[in-house]
A and B are shown apart, each in its own frame.
Chain A
Amino acid sequence: MRLFYLLFLLMAPGLSLYAQNSPGLRNVIVDSSSYVPVDKYRALGVSYTTTRDEALSPLVFQGPGVTFSASSWKYNRNWLLQPAFTGRLHLLKNASGSSVYNEAAFKYQYTALRELLSLQHGNWRFWAGPEAGMLLNMRLHSRNTNNIASYDWAGFLGASAMVSNRFSLWGRTFAVSNQLHIPLFFLYARPPFAWAVPPAIFEEAEGAWKEVFQVGTLNNIMSLSNQVNLDFYLRKRKKGKLVQYRAFRLTYNWNYFAVGTGNPLKTGGHALSFSRVITF
């Protein structure tokens, strides 16, 4: 079943290219040729994470949490600029339920997408561009001795691609966008093989910082994030008169991060969040 899911995921971008659109759709994502205000999103939602962090435990821990984010989309000529900050808090438990640990995950990234292709009067758009950012995950396993805390810090450079579509349904206008983020180069830090803190710092050794940070690429560190947004309007009426449109965004995010060296880490999860578009 899991293989089916993986194959379907790989097919999804290709399948979406064959979707059809009817004429006369109102463009929820405004034409990039004209200057528009920055669209700001403040989202709150729920998430679920699966983690194996061998710095804390050889076992898999899973659990729910809350997610919050602050991001914006700014159109600048042919570019779409996307600064975004995301935070998640989780309570994870192992399969036997015998122990739990807390996890806090934070990520900031700045993505610059350039429109590469526009089809069907802008109803379909394809974007790609570079991105940079950093992430910080911290975990606390209070039942351990000495290896109580674990962390992942990474600064990264990578690429992102997005396909967006607008359409009308039931008399309303919607926009769907699917964006994939793939960091390619990392500067990262993880707990050492058998201790919670890089001993070089702990022992105040000279040149300690050189032992703390490592350079990584996809052969030893991997990060993937896929985000699907559904934008829609709700009409606000007062005394039967239409007074305001309010725009909202429903976002589903899947993310995965893995480090293969030292104390190996694999963590991935899902988040569903909801935000009101503050300016549109």
Chain B
Amino acid sequence: MKKILFYFSFLFLLCNTGCEQILIEDDPENKAVDNFNLLWNTVDEKYSFFIYKNIDWDSVYSVYRPRVENGMPQQELFGVMAEMLNVLEDGHVNLSSSFNVSRNWNWYLNYPQNFNYVLLERNYLQDDFEITGPFRNKIIGKVGYIYYGSFVSGFTDGQMNYLIQKFKDCKGIIIDIRDNGGGRIDLIARLTSYFVKEEHLAGYVRYKDGPGHDEFTSFYPQKVEPAGKTFSQPVAVLTNRSVYSAANAFASFMASLPDAVLIGDRTGGGGGAPYSGELMNGWRFRFSTTQMVNVNKEQIENGVAVDIEQNLLPADEARGVDSILERALEYFKEK
């Protein structure tokens, strides 16, 4: 009996194996229909703009599910899923496979570009501009000009203080974020902080709080504290339709400042921050789960309107003139 007890102990060990797998359900099978359902369900529970965009996601299922069959070619399945996600018309919605990435870029492809960096560099920046961290900068006609191409690139207090000191005698500051597709969320308030003098309410944000399309947290105020040193001049922010996501939010923040104007074309939008998931077949997807709104609680998902509309006119572009930059320079001459 001692041996039985001893062997029993080890048998008891064995019987413990796999127990948690009883309690943790298996993934659905890696079949086309299961992958489609997982994608549709995850988006259904967490996407944040169904009501704002008036999208009937249930009817979208009815339209696209019949086109999915187990065993269908992967490219074809990808095409159906991509087409379904395209209904959301959201630049933050992507489906990634090894052979393709679905995307919606109509928020800028359907509009004039309104930016020509080659023209900017050759005729305005030329060979005497400075590169201070991510900022290409120069004094142009007594106005401090800063080009910031991507919110993926961080910056330091030292770099900003350098620009503040460099431009201290300028009558205005132009911060050009045309073609800035976004990046780090934390840099939005951080960059704005160099343009505010006191604590400033710049916007609101809310998050999906449950699986219902209308389940959100309350709106959290987004306040910007001034940085140690700030620009003292009025500021013009240059935008085009390619301004998206974090850059779009920055434009919204700046639009709330009393001495800031937006010049150019309406921004592309992207007021929701993306959240990732994956399917059983290894494909990954992301979509928006938050809503950023401006200080008046108006959605910025479809862009931020400018104060002064100005396109890059083809005739001006042909003769090497950036109409939007010139309009901003003219704005400061008039002040």
Contacts and interface: CB of A to CB of B under 8 A. Distances in A.
A171 to B, nearest CB: 12
Contact of B6 (A98, A169, A258): A169
A195 B207 contact: yes
Contact of B281 (A52, A96, A143): A96
Given A57-B277, A193-B210, A194-B207, A50 B15 contact: no
Interface residues of A, number: 62
B275 A205 contact: no
Contacts of A5: 15-19, 22
Contacts of B20: 50, 254, 256, 266-269
Contact of A203 (B22, B215, B222, B282): B222
B17 A147 contact: no
Contacts of A233: none
A99 B280 CA distance: 11
B286 interface: yes
B274 interface: yes
B2 A22 contact: yes
B220 interface: yes
Given A169-B6, A193-B208, A2 B278 contact: no
Contacts of B12: 12, 16, 178, 228
Interface stretch (B24-32, B64-72, B158-166): B24-32
A51 B25 CA distance: 10
A226 interface: yes
A95 interface: yes
A52 B24 contact: yes
Nearest to A60: B27
Contact of A94 (B9, B17, B278): B278
B22 to A, nearest CB: 5
A2 B24 CA distance: 12
Nearest to A257: B20
Contacts of A6: 19, 22
B5 interface: yes
Interface string B180-219: 0000010000000000000000000111111100010100
Interface in A228-278: 228, 230, 252, 254, 256, 258, 266-270
A192 B274 contact: no
Q: From DSSP, what is the main secondary structure of chain B's interface residues? A: mixed
Nearest to B3: A169
A159 B273 CA distance: 43
A258 B22 CA distance: 13
A21 to B, nearest CB: 7
Interface string B269-295: 000011111111111101001100000
A270 B82 CA distance: 40
Contacts of B17: 5, 270
B315 interface: no
Contacts of A119: none
Nearest to A226: B16
A96 B22 CA distance: 20
A146 B184 CA distance: 10
B13 interface: yes
A219 interface: no
A174 B2 CA distance: 11
Contact of B209 (A1, A19, A193, A228): A193
Given A60-B27, A195-B289, A146 B5 contact: no
B18 A8 contact: no
A57 B221 CA distance: 29
Instruction: Tell me which of A19, A194, A269 has the highest count of chain B C-beta atoms within 10 A of its own C-beta.
Output: A194
Contact of B24 (A8, A16, A50, A167): A50
B286 A145 contact: yes
A137 interface: no
Contacts of A97: 282
Contacts of B282: 94, 96-99
B8 interface: yes
A58 B207 contact: no
A58 B290 contact: no
Instruction: Tell me which of A9, A50, A59 has the highest count of chain B C-beta atoms within 10 A of its own C-beta.
Output: A59
Given A52-B24, A193-B46, A146 B278 contact: no
B290 A147 contact: no
A200 B19 contact: no
A199 interface: yes
Nearest to B96: A143
Contact of B15 (A8, A20, A58): A8
A59 B27 contact: yes
12 contacts: A12-B15, A60-B24, A94-B27, A98-B283, A143-B284, A169-B3, A194-B46, A194-B48, A194-B275, A230-B9, A256-B19, A267-B24
Given A167-B2, A256-B20, A267-B20, 14 more contacts: A5-B15, A8-B15, A57-B278, A95-B30, A96-B30, A146-B273, A176-B5, A192-B217, A194-B209, A203-B222, A228-B13, A230-B9, A254-B20, A268-B21
Interface of B: 1-6, 8-9, 12-13, 15-27, 30, 38, 42, 46, 48, 185, 205-211, 215, 217, 220-223, 273-284, 286, 289-290
Interface of A: 1-3, 5-6, 8-9, 12, 15-16, 19-22, 50-52, 57-60, 94-99, 141, 143-147, 165, 167-169, 174, 176, 178, 192-195, 199-200, 202-205, 226, 228, 230, 252, 254, 256, 258, 266-270
Closest 3 CB pairs of A and B: A268-B20, A98-B282, A203-B220
